[in-house]
Structure formats: structure tokens, C-alpha cells
Structure 1
Amino acid sequence: MVFAYAIAFAVHAVTVVLIACALWCVVRGWGGLGVLLGGVLLLLAWTLRPRLTRLPNDGQVIRRDDAPSLHSLVDEVAEVAGTRSVDVIVVNTDINASVMTCGLRGQRVLTLGLPLWEMLRPQQRIALLGHELGHYSNGDTRRGLIIATAYRSLLTWRYYLAPTADPTPVEIVVNLVYLVPRRLIRGVLLILDRLTSSVARRGEYLADSFAGRAGSTEAAVEFMDRLLVAESAATTLRREANKPRGGRRGSSRAVEGAEKLWEVLATDVESVPEHEYERRRRVGAARGHRVDSSHPPTHLRRERLLTCPPVPATVVMSDEHERRISGELAAVRRLLAEEIIRDGFDG
């Protein structure tokens, strides 16, 4: 990891050098040419600057005063994970969940995809929270400020140096000039990815351990099984979004469809028989199913949990607590259901 941090600092050092060169050009002047060149370099450096993550704008922001019961549940799980709780929860229409740190003050944000939340039973939801909050405890360097911002800067360089499609003669020359730096950037990205991937995989396994500790081993394994039917859940949402209802948005029939969307989703997922889960587990193991490229294969994560001594739930959601959380999310559930019905589901 020392080499990964060295690469990240080198990437940021290039940005600093660009700023220094820009200021030098401006000071030298060169009859106005230096000012122009300096301005271009400053603009380039600005686009490559380390950018702090901002609060997501693609969902409903839920602060502590908006949903005290939901936040108190997250607080309990954070205590089990041995970390500070989140400051803000953002609920959107993704079949996913994640955590991030935003701004200079280090505001912690938990993003919950409502479709994923509605697919899960109460203890499975706690396992989900345990997994996500566990990322704050395991030192996942890919999510850290230095490496994450360096990675984004490298992606910006790759965008600038990308070859032009169907080039003119002049653009062919430019493509050739960019060939070496383009391959250099691609190589640095590959090296940085390789250096951090093992740490990222380790982080996922550790996060799974917190999922089991918070919600129980059984709930954590069931949560992973639910991930195997994520595409089926997406199909359900697309089907419901495309279903004709004979009314405009805001009409009684449209609102009724929105109210029933999550109930239909939960029913469809619950109706998946055990033998279908077993089939998907076998197919997933054969094909190396994973949530995304940063996660280890799901079957390996599942096997690791099952080979460790089973642990009971540290956090148990009571029926009353579940009802309170459901009431706090009622307005968000309606808004996001209407959004899916109005705009369709492309997850």
C-alpha cells in the first residue's frame, strides 16, 4: 500500500506542478502569451484538482430529525461495528447501498436504495447496515481521500487523452502524439487498481463479518442470497413501471399503483423458492457472480461466513421499531414509487 500512496501523491504532485508552471507563465508575461498559457494551465489544473465528495443529489435526504427511529437503528449497528454513525441518510431508487464521507468536515453519508431495502426482511436489513458501516471500520483505502481523489484525477487525464474517433489528418497526428501519455495513464490506473484491489477485497470480507455480527450469520447469508435475485427485482420494477394504469400522474389510479409498488416487489422476492436460490447459487459460483468489480465473488463471501462459527444477532429489530421506521419512510416510499412509475426504472 505504500507504493499505492506514492502513486497517488505523485498524481497530485503533477497538479501542483501545473499550478506552479501556470503562475510562472503569468508572472513572466511574454507579451501576453504567458498570461494566456498560464490561464490554460490553471484551467487544466482546476479540472484535475482533488475533489471532495459531495452529498448525492439523486435521492431523498433524510436527516436525524426526519427519521429518528431509522437513525437510532443505524446508531446501534454503528456501535457494533465500532465506528461513528452516519450524519445523513440518502434514499434513492437503486438496488444498492453504500457509504461515503463528504466535505472537509467529514460528513458521513449512508445511501440506501429503497428497492434493496424493501427486498429484505428486518434482520437482513440490519445485516446490510452492518456491512456498509463496517467499511468505516476496516480502513478501505479506495474510499480514502488521497487515493480516491488521485483515481478521479487519473480518469480525467484519460478522458483528455482519449483518441478521437474518425479523425481528420490533423487529429491523426494528435492521436499519435497522445499515444505514449495515454498508455502511461492507462498503466498507472492499472497499477493503482492492482495495488488496492486486494485491500478492497479484504475490506468486503471484513464488512461481511460486521454484517453477521450485527444481524446474525444467518441474516447475513440470506442478505447475500437476496443479491442473487437483484435482476429479478429490477424486472419487477420495470414491469410495474410500464404497466398501463389509465391515469395521469397524481390521479387516483396512478397513486394507487405507486402505493402498491413496494408491496408487489416484496411479494415477488418472497415468492422465490429455495430451489431457485440454490440454482442461482450454483450458477453464480460457476460464473463468478459479484455485486460489482470491486467485490469478491458472492459465493466466496457466502462460504466464508458459513465456514466461520455462526454468531447470533447483536441488534434485533422489534416489531414496534420496525413500524416506526416504516412510518418515517412512508412519504419517501410514495415519492420514489411515483418517480419509478413516472420515469421508468433503469437500474
Structure 2
Amino acid sequence: MLDVARETRQQCPECGTEIRGDSRFAIWCAACDWNVDPEKPQPDGGPLDRAERALARRHGERLLDEMMSGQALRPRRDASAVAATVLALLVHGVTLALAVLGVWCVVAGWGGVGVVAGAVLLVLFWALAPRVRRLPDDRPVLFRSDAPELFALVDEVAHAVGTRSVHAIVVDGSINAAVTTYGVRGRRLLVLGMPLWEILTPEERIALLGHELAHYANGDTRNGFVVGTAVRTLALWHHTLQPLPDPSGIELAVNALYVLPRLLVRGLLVLLVRLTSRAGTRAEYLADRLAARTASTQAAVDLMDRLLITDSLAVLLRSEANRAALGGSRSAREAKARADELWGLLTAFAASIPEHEYERQRRAGARRGHQIDATHPPTHLRRACLLAGESLPAVVPPQDHRNERIATELAAARTEAARRLLRDGLVD
């Protein structure tokens, strides 16, 4: 059940100011920031993550200055992006060379030794080869015939941000949204996390679509097929070359042989991240700007505030999934009713979150900076960039009749997403 908000009062142990808070959230002092970030999540300490955070810190505020001055209003395929693409092609060239060498060894034979060596090389090639994404078969997939009104909205938003629309929409239980491609022809796919979609206003939903579709318009190199699959290949190599734990004598020798290749692969990974970091950060700022142009500046800012409470939403959803598991099996009718009830609980909880909790999250995010998420600029910088510019009106305003039709089109997927959340928990 939804926890009831209860007002609390206490004195700040640091400055003595009276604190009024909500018992469901962290109690903190707005006057001196006491307890503003009690969780203090620890970032991953891997070398690649440290490199990403260092580069994100270096580029974040510099790009903010450029955005505010109008110097970075257009996506640029600069020398770093070109170098990243060349490096990624070299990585894929090595992968292709494994296939060629493997076939040659198999054909040569060499009394059976070549066949074994060739088979090993071909298995390596298969493991490292770029993968073409397929449409998921475990989540609802909508096409134009399934949801014409939703696709009409997506088409309108895509036109507003200056790009082509999507071919399919996947609905899942993540508190997120994303765009990607699938198939050999690189068809476009929008992923809508129903928990996030449910708590947003119609204006915020348009801002969300504008931000995600803007990534197609911006040409984000890091998320492209060539560079993205090269990063995956290098990461797989780096994982494979990790030292063997508790090594025996022979394994010690193997670990020693791994040192130089592992350092080389790590260096290539860090270099690829360095080359794409600035472009990736710029793409987020540009996506925010296009979202504001599409749905209005206020809607884009409100959307970012909503993203601050995703951890609280995740706690509620996990709690409801645990309750469903303890409740045991239900009839199909009861399961559907429970699934529909979940969205009511979620939206009521989101609506009940007080402003001082949003403010705490903003201040905590400003303190953390790039410590946790190196792929997006910190929210306080993104908000500052939007609020410093001209306040833009909506190009694509919401329409009541369209909202109702979209709700009808999403009804079955909405229920299925809730059922999966109650059965399996959150989607990563």
C-alpha cells in the first residue's frame, strides 16, 4: 500500500534551523545542506569508469558555457568523432582478420592442428563480431497499425526536431526511455518505460519524446553501430584478459602473458571513450534544447525534475512486486485488476512528492556532479542551460482527444508491463 505522507519537525543539528519534512524521505536542512545527500552512492571504481568520469567533468561545464553562448547549438562531426570512427573500424578490422585467419587455418589443415586453431579463431570471431539488434520477443512491440495515434504524435515530434520517425515502439517496465535501431536495415526503435510514461504530464511526455528522438538528429557517435559495437568488442577483450584468480604455476605464466595485451586493450578503450566523450555530452545538451523547442522550456525542465525521483519510484515498484510475490497465485481477473492498480499507486505517489524533496535531489546531484553518471551532464547543469536561454513555447502542444486515444492504444501493453513488474521486478 502507498505510504501516507506525515509531516515531521525537528531542529537542524548543524545550524539549529527548524526543519519541516516528509517522513517518507530524507530529512535535511535547506539552510546549511545538512543531510542533503545521506545515500552518498559510491561510483564504480573500474579504470574505464574513472576515465569516463574524469572526461565528463572536463567537458561538462566547458560545454555548458558553449551552449549558453550559442557556440555548440549544432551537432558537429569534429576531428575526435572522425578519429573515433577510424579507431572503431580498426577494431572491427582485427575482428574480421580473425575470421579470415580462421578460415585459412581450417583450409590449410596441417594435419588437424590447423583445423583446431581455425575453429578457435572462428569462435573468437563469432563472439566479437558486431551484432545486429533484433526486436525483443519478451515485451510488447507496437507498430503503426497497433497504435496510429501514438505514432502520429511521434511523427509530429520527430518532424519538430528535424529527423525521421520510428518504425516500432517497445513498451517495458523500465523507468526510462531510449532510442536505438534494429535489423540489418537499421530501422528505428523507441523504447518507452511505462512507469516513467505513467507519471508524466502530457507536456512532459512530448518533451521526453523530443529528447529521445533528438539523439537521431544529433548523430551521437558513441551510440552508433560502428563505435558502439567496437566499445563492446574491446570491453569483451578486456574482460577475457583479466588475471585468473588464485593462479597455479601455469596460470601465473598465463597471467603474465596477459599483462601487455590487457594494457593495450584498456588503452584503446580509454582512447575511444576520450574521443567520444565530448560529442556524447554535447548530444545530451542539444537533445534537451530540442525537447524544449518541441514541448516548451518549462516542460523540458519539469521532465528533468521528474527524472530526479526515479530511485523513489523504483523502491515503490520493488515493494509492490514483493507484496505480489507474498500474495501467491491469483486468477487472471485478479491479476489484471492488481496490474491496473499498480499504475494508480505509482501516479499517486509521484503526485504526492513534495517540492522540498525535488530540491534536495537537485542539491545532491550538484554535489555528486559526474561521480555516478558519466554519460549525461549533471541535471543541475542541464537545468541551468535551459533556464538561462530564452523561454520557448511548445511547437507540439498536447491534445486531449489524442491523449485519450493514445491511452486506449497503450492499454494492453500497459497491463502487460504491470504484470511483468509484479512478477519479475524492474527491468534494468
Q: TM-score range by the shorter chain?
A: over 0.9
Deviation string, structure 1 residues 209-258 (Cα, Å, up to 9, x no partner): 11111111000000000011101111111222223685623355443221
Identity, % of aligned pairs?
53
Q: Please tell me whether the aligned partners of residues 84 and 272 of structure 2 are also in contact (alpha carbons under 8 angstroms).
A: yes
Which stretch shows the higher mean deviation, 301-310 or 239-248? 239-248
Measured against aligned partners, the alpha-carbon deviations of 1:115-169 in whole angstroms (never above 9, x if no partner) come to 1101211100000000000000011011222111211111221222122222222
Matched, 1:241 2:321: yes
Of 178, 189, 194, the residue aligned with 1:98 is 178
Letter in 2 for 1:298: T
Is the contact between residue 173 and residue 427 of structure 2 (CA under 8 Å) also seen in structure 1? no
After the TM superposition, which residues 134-149 of structure 1 pair with which residues of structure 2 at under 5 Å, given as runs?
134-149=214-229
Aligned match of 1:342: 423
Unaligned runs of 5+ in 2: 1-79
Contact 1:249 1:255 (C-alpha < 8 Å) held by counterparts: no
CA distance in 1, matches of 2:248, 2:330: 49
Q: Is the 8 A contact 1:236 1:265 kept in 2?
A: yes
Partner of 1:181: 261
Within 2, Cα distance between the matches of 1:339 and 1:290? 32
Query: Which shows bigger deviation, 163-172 or 81-90?
Result: 163-172
Q: Is the 8 A contact 1:134 1:207 kept in 2?
A: yes
- Does 1 or 2 have the higher relative contact order (CA < 8 Å, sep 6+)? 2
Q: Equivalent of 1:190, from 270, 292, 296?
A: 270
2:400 matched to which residue of 1? 319
Cα distance, 1:273–1:290 mapped onto 2, change above 3 Å = farther
Contact 1:291 1:298 in 2 (8 A): no
Distance 2:113 2:328 in 1: 63
1:40 paired residue among 117, 120, 123: 120
1:108 maps to 188
Q: Deviations over 1:284-341 (max 9, x none)?
A: 1112278843111111111101111011111112111111111111111111111222
Q: Distance in 2 between matches of 1:36 and 1:346?
A: 40
Q: Which has more helix, going by share of residues?
A: 1
TM-score by length of structure 1 reads 0.95
* Conserved? CA contact 1:215–1:313, under 8 Å: yes
- Determine the structure 2 residue equivalent to 1:275: 356
Counterpart amino acid of residue 421 in structure 2: I
Distance of 2:403 and 2:304 partners within structure 1? 21
- Residues 247 and 254 in structure 1, CA contact (< 8 A), matched pair in contact too: no
TM-score by length of 2: 0.77
Distance 1:246 1:89 in 2: 32
Q: Do structure 1's residue 51 and structure 2's residue 131 form an aligned pair? A: yes
1:21 match: 101
| RMSD value, Cα | 1.8
Partner of 2:69: none
In the alignment, which of 304, 309, 313 is matched to residue 229 of structure 1? Answer: 309
Structure 1 gap ranges (5+): none
The letter of the residue matching 2:343 is W
Deviation >4 Å, runs of 4+:
244-247
Distance 1:243-1:36 versus aligned 2 partners, 3 A rule: closer
Task: Check whether the contact 1:77–1:129 (CA below 8 A) recurs between aligned residues.
Answer: yes
C-alpha offsets along residues 86-112 of structure 1, whole Å, 9 cap, x if unaligned? Answer: 000001000111101122211100001
Cα deviation, 1:147-197, whole Å, max 9, x if unaligned, reads 112111112212221222222222222111111101111111011011101
Question: 2:174 touches 2:426 (CA, 8 Å); kept in 1?
Answer: no
Residue-pair matches, total: 347
| Other structure's SS at 1:84 match | coil
Q: Distance in 2 between matches of 1:291 and 1:124?
A: 25
Aligned residue identity for 2:411: A
Mean Cα displacement is larger for which, 163-172 or 73-82? 163-172
